[in-house]
Amino acid sequence: MKTPSPVLEALASRYERSQAGRTGAANRDLLVLLEELLAEAGCNEGENRALAEQQLAEAESAGLLVRVPVHKRDRSHIHQIRFSAAKEDALYAKITRSSPTKTRANLAEQFAAAATTDVPTRWREKWTAWCGRMRNEALAGRSIAAFDREPSRANDELLALLPKLLAWDGESLIRFVSCVLCGSSKQLEELAALERDGEFSGQLRGKLGRLLEDITGSEICTLDDIGIISNPRSVLVHGPLKLWLDGAWLDLGILHGSFRLSQTDIERAEKIETSSLRCTTIENETTFHELAKLQSGDLLICSSYPGSGTVALLRRLPPKIDCWHFGDSDEAGFEILRVLRDKSGRDFRPLHMQAGRIPFEQESLGRPMQKTWPFYRTLNTAL
């Protein structure tokens, strides 16, 4: 059994962090101060140092490296260790580890093998091109974001999952899809964590969304785009709303309580009408239910970051209806207001939202003090 050599392991670690080790492109040899190398190896004192220096001398004799003395004529005091990329295979054979070049080649092979995976015809050309590009990036030691930089089982599992997502047909909740494709109800959620920034606020994106966007040239950016959703596509509503469905009016305004309306029914309705002159979206469901109790006659919609069902309903409302958003007075609350405007195309205005208000939660305003809008008498609002 070979005696492990911490100092050669430390040299290999230094090499792996160098440009030559990371990319295979060697412009010059690696030079490491002896004292630094011994310190990294934990061999800078006593018997460990003596053994490390002996192993370096043996490695020099075997042609693996060059010990650079302080003075050319005095080889008793070593100043630096010089290592050439040309000796990579020999060094890694000595320490019985896969070399960086071999590791990059094995990583590239994972992408090359994935290119042969069956994918829907629509995506076949883009999938093959993406796999080829990722193979080249791996060989060159460049970024392969979302994948391990060494060939791993996790890489294989992710590369096997992506074609299955590209082939997914129909709308299903993410935990069901996760069980079908991964054998675990939570794995997809972990790979597609909800993002709360920018264009994709509140949608299932994460690592999977970014990869799908890269593969498809931005035709798919989130799991929502392929019908994999975190919650049913519906919207929680209260107030006067009528849908013309199958030749008859469905009058939901006669309900005293709130109701959920599916995106499917919103989209298939030939006409949607409301007698309310005002639509108010409410960020938190707790406050929504308190306001719904008032039977104010306003159209109330519960919405944090708006899902596709909420957006579908907002777009079907009369063009001149006044739109207000009642949210928390924090950064997220105002971001929700911005996203509502962007996605619905409507000029939403803030209701009872004041920047810097402490506490910022809308529930901190207490129970609504009147039946009529804006529901709170004494609050200083810019209405």
DSSP sequence for 255-323? -SS-EEEEHHHHHH-SEEE-S-SEEEEES-HHHHHHHHTT--SSEEEE-SS--HHHHHHHHHS-TT-EE
Quick one: 154 and 66 in the same domain? no
Would you say residue 310 has pLDDT above 90?
Answer: yes
Would you say residue 205 has pLDDT above 90?
Answer: no
pLDDT at 194: 52
Quick one: 238 and 344 in the same domain? yes
CA atoms within 13 Å, Cβ hemisphere of 192: 33
- Choosing from 229, 264, 297, the residue where a domain stops is 229
Residue 375, domain member (yes or no): no
Quick one: 352 and 245 in the same domain? yes
Could you tell me the CATH number of the domain that includes residue 87? Answer: 1.10.10
Would you say residue 160 has pLDDT above 90?
Answer: yes
Residue 270, domain member (yes or no): yes
Rounded distance between C-alpha atoms, residue 203 and residue 222, angstroms: 7
What is the bridge-based pairing of β-strands 242-245 and 271-273? antiparallel
- pLDDT band of residue 161 (cuts 50, 70, 90) is very high
Report the number of distinct structural domains present in the chain: 3
Quick one: 52 and 175 in the same domain? no
Quick one: 262 and 140 in the same domain? no
Note whether 292 and 300 are within 8 A (CB): yes
From residue 108, alpha-carbon distances to 147, 159, 256, 290 in Å are 11, 12, 62, 58
Supply the range of the domain harboring residue 149.
101-229
Could you tell me the CATH number of the domain that includes residue 337? Answer: 3.40.1360.10
Quick one: 20 and 72 in the same domain? yes
Note whether 40 and 15 are within 8 A (CB): no
The alpha carbon torsion through 143, 147, 152, 157 (nearest 10 deg) reads: -150
Binning the chain into helix, strand and coil, the percentages to the nearest 5 are 45, 15, 40
pTM here? Answer: 0.71
What is the bridge-based pairing of β-strands 194-195 and 203-204? antiparallel
- Choosing from 60, 79, 97, the residue where a domain stops is 97
Residue 379, domain member (yes or no): no
Quick one: 92 and 105 in the same domain? no
Neighbours of 153 (CB within 10 A): 8
- The distance between the two most distant Cα atoms of the chain, rounded to a whole number of Å, is 102
- Choosing from 35, 62, 97, the residue where a domain stops is 97
34-71 pLDDT, tens digit each: 999 999 999 989 999 999 999 999 999 999 999 999 87
Quick one: 330 and 241 in the same domain? yes
Rounded distance between C-alpha atoms, residue 344 and residue 349, angstroms: 13
Rounded distance between C-alpha atoms, residue 168 and residue 90, angstroms: 47
Note whether 227 and 171 are within 8 A (CB): yes
The first and second tokens of residue 268, run together, are 């298939």
Quick one: 248 and 308 in the same domain? yes
pLDDT at 1: 45
Quick one: 198 and 221 in the same domain? yes
Quick one: 279 and 302 in the same domain? yes
325-383 pLDDT, tens digit each: 999 999 999 999 999 999 999 999 999 999 888 889 999 999 998 888 999 875 554 44
Query: What SS3 state is found at 22?
Result: helix
243-276 pLDDT, tens digit each: 999 999 999 999 999 999 999 999 999 999 999 9
Q: What is the 3-state secondary structure (H, E, C) of 58-96?
A: HHHHCCCCEEEEEECCEEEEEEEEEECHHHHHHHHHHCC
Quick one: 246 and 346 in the same domain? yes
Rounded distance between C-alpha atoms, residue 46 and residue 273, angstroms: 87
Q: What is the mean pLDDT of the chain?
A: 91
